[in-house]
Structure 1
């Protein structure tokens, strides 16, 4: 199989990108944690800050105007960082416990990863999940056929996570890549695209398998083409507006995009 001539590596997000079609593992647990406090949070609300580190996600969720109003009505004061700490401590064991329920690879993911490896690319990864969750998810993914060359969790680095470049750049260091411009960051969220751009990489957004559409693979495939398009367009618009160089439905369409990027690099173009 012919290799890519200029690309060195692809750095993948996890939920909604390679595993967990629809990115359900983080959102459902957040809903349950807020519900335990007597605060109703909808799935749509829980998805708005997706891509951030989970502590930051909880804080951002609590600062959404409607959620903040419910919190104020329930407790008589705005959510404080100490409240975020408490919710995070409740969130963590539930996320570790349940991440396995949502660990199935997205259709086409394993085949795509294998194609990329066969063409000489290194496979990096990073996640909004903390290390304790990744330690639970990694062996499950490996058993299903996905074992990236390197994985960075959002609390592995002192600088923090998305939308900063640090997790993507940590992959560059660990994989001994020669140039950040030879890398492609693949993600289903706006903070994940921002991460890749701030690291100086090409970026590919996934519109249909991820957080913005928020359907299971079965639900997605059951839609008519017109219904799929109505779900796809807002998600694709978000990712394009965030600066993604390309946007496709799922990871299954990535090899063709990488060929386009490699051809652009051959002409001297850079991200």
Structure 2
């Protein structure tokens, strides 16, 4: 959904262009979900016959934790192999996560909405991205009252289906908004190594990891983060300082 996307341009005093497009992850970065991914995965695993206390369940859960930020259907394809099982697990996951969202189990990361509004006030276009399916992304936006907060939201299916760690959603945001003259004028922020990798692979000049979600400082830096922040609330000041 595109609503009055900004094409504002601002030159820095050194003649270069500043960061005009900011691509933000949702769960763990702008949205606090308190571990709902793991709870929804447990429901998905039960749906396809994985025993909750088995070694297989533990191994699969560890993979889910390691790949936070990746497209969920891609995760289930890796875990279950057979496409029908992967789709069955993904459907169960999305249903369970949506039920938890409807029960009021999510909230904005403190200062996240204010940060988004501040970025917009600074003339930057903000796009929200997720590894969830569109139905889940929309449920989150509705639960938070964020439908009109930004002009564009993207899920993996909106950008060819591969999701993170591929750069596709960042590049789709760049192409669909027209808000930046080049990918070097894009900033990306997320809480997982896969969020960071997607920004690095897209060629964004600012790729910020935040410590409010799945992965810690070391993992974010190893993935190539240019900045590691305590929270997305710090991002507007960082970008303002860069120009």
Query: What's the TM-score once normalised by structure 2's chain length?
Result: 0.81
**Unmatched tracts of structure 2, length 5 or more:** 1-9, 13-17
Aligned: 1:241 with 2:195: no
Greater helix proportion: 1
Alignment counterpart, residue 44 of structure 2, candidates 4, 27, 33: 33
- Deviations 1:215-257 (CA, angstroms, capped at 9, x unpaired): xxxxxxxxxxxxxxxxxxxx10000000000001111221232
Matched, 1:127 2:130: yes
Structure 1 residues 134-181: Cα deviation after superposition (integer angstroms, max 9, x where no partner): 2222222335x9712211111223252111111111111222122211
Mapped partners of 1:53, 1:146: distance in 2: 24
- Measured after TM superposition, the shift of residue 13 of structure 1 is 0.3
Name the SS for the 1:11 alignment partner: strand
**Runs of 4+ off more than 4 Å:** 42-45
RMSD: 2.3
1:223 counterpart residue number:
none
Tell me, yes or no, if the aligned pair for 1:19 and 1:104 is still in contact at 8 Å. Answer: yes
Structure 1 residue 85: deviation in Å? Answer: 2.3
State the distance in 2 between where 1:157 and 1:9 align: 17
Once residues 183 and 166 of structure 2 are traced to their aligned partners in structure 1, the CA distance between those partners, rounded to angstroms, is 15
Q: Determine the C-alpha separation between the residues in 2 that align with 1:89 and 1:117.
A: 35
> Are 1:47 and 2:65 counterparts?
yes
In structure 1, the gaps of 5 or more residues are: 64-78, 213-234, 263-271
- Where do residues 77-156 of structure 1 align in structure 2 (5 Å cutoff)? 80-100=82-102, 101-142=104-145, 147-156=149-158
Q: Give the Cα separation in 2 of the matches to 1:4 and 1:105.
A: 32
Mapped to 1, the partners of 2:158 and 2:177 lie a distance apart of 16
